[in-house]
Structure 1
Amino acid sequence: MNIPDTIRNNLRDKYGIHVSSAKTVSGGSINQAYQLETNQGALFLKINVSAPEDFFEKEAEGLKLLKSAGSGLRIPEVIAAEKPINGSPGFLLMEFIDSGSSGDSFAFGANLAHLHQTNSDQFGLDAENYIGSLPQSNNWHSNWPGFFSEERIRPQLRMAIKSGKMDSRVLKQWDRIEPLLYDLMPETEPSLIHGDLWGGNYLFDTNGDAVLIDPAVYYGHPEMDLAFSHMFGGFSGEFYRGYESVSPQPSGFSERKPLYNLYPLLVHVNLFGGHYVSQAEAVLKRFA
C-alpha cells in the first residue's frame, strides 16, 4: 500500500529520505502504520488523520524522554514528527525495529525498575500529552494522591459523566475515596514511568532486548506501570522477578492494584464504553 504523496514528498524534500516501497504493518488501534524501505534503510511510519494535531509531537517527546533515562530499555529513535498541514495527515517516523519471538523478561523487569529510578522533585510533566487518543493532564503536584486524583481520575470521571457513560454519583463516590489515598498508597519519589504499559506497548527485538513503544509518560508512582502491566496480561513471572531484583515492592500491592487501574479502566470507559463501565463502577464501589 502506498503512503500519501504529500508525506512522501515531505520526507524527500525536508529530510532527504527517498521511499522506495511501503508495506502496511501493525501500528495500534488508532494509527495507520508502514514499514518503509528507503535510502536510509528500513523505517517505521505512523499516520493518523483524526488525532489531535500535536499527537505525534507529544509521542515523540515521550520517546525521547524515555531514551534519555538510559535505563537499558531500548527506545525507538525518532527521526521526524510532523503536524497535519495543508490537508496532509500528521505522522511519526522512527527507526524500524524487527521483533523477535522471545526475549529476556528478567532483564526487561530489571531495566523497567532502573527507568523508575529516574526521578523528579514533583509529580507531573511540563506539558500535557495523550493516553490513547485522550488528552492527559500533567499539572505538577507535590504529592502523589493529589496528582492521582486531580490529574488522572477526576478528568476521566467528568468526561464519562458528560458523555452519559456514567452517572454523576461516581464523583461523590470518588469524594469519599480521595482522602483514603494518603493511607492506601505508599510514599514514593516521583518516578519516570511509561504510563501506558500493557502487553501491546512493548516488544522484544531480534537480540531479545525489550523495546518500549507508544508511551504516555509522566513522573508518577512506579506502581502505576506495574498495575497496568497486570490489567490485560502479557508479562511473565520472570519480568516481575527482574523488577523486584532491583526495586522490591512494598507490601499490599495486590490490594492497591485495582485502584491504580481505575485510571486505565476509565480511559477505556471513555474510549469504548461497554463492559468497562461496570468494571469501573465495581472498583469505585469497592473502595467507597
Structure 2
Amino acid sequence: MDLAYLRAHPQHLSTFLAHQRIRETPVGGGDVCAATRLTLDDGTSVFAKSWPSGSPPEHFFRTEAAGLKWLAEASAAPVPEVISVTDDLLALEWIEPGSPSAAAADRFGRELAEVHRAGAEGFGAPWPGFIGPLRQDNTASEGPWGAWFAERRLLPYLRMSADRGALDAGDVELVEQVLSRIDTFGGAEAPARLHGDLWPGNVLWGADGRAWLIDPAAHGGHRETDLAQLALFGGAPHLDRIVAAYQEVWPLSDGWQGRVPLHQLQLLLVHTAAFGTGYRGSVVAAASAALRG
C-alpha cells in the first residue's frame, strides 16, 4: 500500500493494519487517543489515531475529520489532510515537526485571523461535538453569543465537574455568578470559524516553517475563545507576535483583554470535568478574574 493507493481506497487501511501489512511506530498522541506513525510501501508516513481500548464514542473520529475539513476550507492556516476515517480510526497527513519561530508565529497569527473570518452559519456545528474525551453540544444557534456560550459551553462542564467532585459548592457558586452576568461582558460578534480547542499543544510547529492546526473541536463560536485558549498552560511560543499579527488582519474588539479569563473558563471546566481537581485552582482563578473584569 502506497499513499496514492490509500487515498484511492481509504476504506482498506483497517484491513492492512489488521494483517500487519503496514509498519507502525508509536508516537505521542496526547491524553485521549493512541497515536502511531504508519510507514507505507513508498516510504511516506501517515499519522493514525485510535481509541486506546474498546470502541470510541460514536462519531468520535468522524467528528474530528469533519472539523479538520471545515477548517481547511478556509484556505488559510494549514490543516493536515484527512486520508482515511472510520468509526475506529483516523489517518492524517504526516506533518514533520519543527521548531517555533518568530516568522512562523507572525504567519500563524495572520492565517488564524483568516480562518476565523471565514465564518460559520451559526454558533455550534452541523456535526456531533467532542472536546478531548467529552461530548460537546454543537446544537446550532443563531445566538446571542452570551446565552449560547453559557448554556452550551460552560454549564454542561460545570455540572460534570461538580458531579465528579472536582469543584465544591463554593466553586460552583462562583462560576454561576459568571453565568448570571454573561450578557454584561460585551464583545458580542457574529459566529467565527473556530478551532475550538486551541491550547498550545494543538498547534503543531512544522519543519516547513508553518504552524498547523491539529486536534480541533471545530464549531462556530466567538473568535476570542481561540485566542484566549492559546494563552493557557504556559502560552503558545511567541504568543505576543501571534496576537499582534492577528490584529493586523482583523483587529479585536475593545476590551478583549478583560474577557480572556471568561473565554478560558470553558476549556478549564472541560479539564476539571475530564481530569479532576488538578485544574480546580485554575477554574477558580479564571472565574474570579472574569467577574473582576
**So what's the TM-score if we normalise by structure 1?**
0.86
The Cα offsets for residues 41-61 of structure 1, whole Å up to 9 and x where unpaired, read as 211111113531321111111
Q: Distance in 1 between matches of 2:246 and 2:32?
A: 30
Match of 1:28 in 2: 30
Q: Is the 8 A contact 1:20 1:36 kept in 2?
A: yes
Q: Is the 8 A contact 2:123 2:219 kept in 1?
A: yes
Match of 2:89 in 1: 91
Q: Distance in 1 between matches of 2:28 and 2:14?
A: 24
The answer on 1:77 being equivalent to 2:81 is yes
Q: Distance in 2 between matches of 1:80 and 1:131?
A: 21
Give, as a single letter, the amino acid of the residue that structure 2 aligns with 1:25. Answer: V
**Displacement, 1:12?**
6.8
RMSD value over aligned CA atoms?
2.4
Superposed, 1:44-59 pairs within 5 Å as: 44-48=47-51, 49-50=53-54, 51-59=56-64
Q: Distance in 2 between matches of 1:121 and 1:143?
A: 13
**Displacement, 1:185?**
2.9
Match of 1:255 in 2: 258
- Structure 1: segments with no counterpart, 5+ residues: 1-8, 84-89
Q: Distance in 2 between matches of 1:242 and 1:203?
A: 18
Give, as a single letter, the amino acid of the residue that structure 2 aligns with 1:78. Answer: V
Match of 1:86 in 2: none
Q: Distance in 1 between matches of 2:14 and 2:274?
A: 36
**Displacement, 1:183?**
2.8
Give, as a single letter, the amino acid of the residue that structure 2 aligns with 1:28. Answer: G
Q: Sequence identity of aligned pairs in percent?
A: 33
Which deviates the most, 96-105 or 74-83? 96-105
Match of 1:150 in 2: 151
Q: Is the 8 A contact 1:190 1:220 kept in 2?
A: yes
**Displacement, 1:28?**
1.3
Match of 1:60 in 2: 65
The answer on 1:165 being equivalent to 2:166 is yes
The answer on 1:123 being equivalent to 2:127 is no
SS of 1:241's equivalent in the other structure is helix
Q: Distance in 2 between matches of 1:21 and 1:266?
A: 39
SS of 1:195's equivalent in the other structure is coil
SS of 1:44's equivalent in the other structure is strand
Give, as a single letter, the amino acid of the residue that structure 2 aligns with 1:261. Answer: Q
Which deviates the most, 160-169 or 184-193? 160-169
> Number of matched residues?
272
Match of 2:275 in 1: 272
Q: Is the 8 A contact 1:18 1:39 kept in 2?
A: no
SS of 1:116's equivalent in the other structure is helix
The answer on 1:216 being equivalent to 2:221 is no
Match of 1:107 in 2: 107
Give, as a single letter, the amino acid of the residue that structure 1 aligns with 2:109. Answer: G
Q: Distance in 1 between matches of 2:267 and 2:90?
A: 24
Match of 1:281 in 2: 284
Q: Give the 3 Å change call, closer, same or farther, for CA 175–192 of structure 1 in structure 2.
A: same
Give, as a single letter, the amino acid of the residue that structure 1 aligns with 2:89. Answer: F
Match of 1:6 in 2: none
**So what's the TM-score if we normalise by structure 2?**
0.85
Which deviates the most, 19-28 or 104-113? 19-28
SS of 1:231's equivalent in the other structure is coil
**Displacement, 1:191?**
0.3
Give, as a single letter, the amino acid of the residue that structure 1 aligns with 2:284. Answer: E
Give, as a single letter, the amino acid of the residue that structure 2 aligns with 1:276. Answer: Y
Q: Distance in 2 between matches of 1:185 and 1:128?
A: 28
Q: Distance in 1 between matches of 2:20 and 2:175?
A: 53
**Displacement, 1:175?**
4.5
**Displacement, 1:18?**
8.5
Q: Is the 8 A contact 1:18 1:38 kept in 2?
A: no
Which deviates the most, 268-277 or 210-219? 268-277
Q: Distance in 2 between matches of 1:147 and 1:187?
A: 11
Which deviates the most, 91-100 or 33-42? 33-42
**Displacement, 1:14?**
8.2
Give, as a single letter, the amino acid of the residue that structure 1 aligns with 2:67. Answer: G
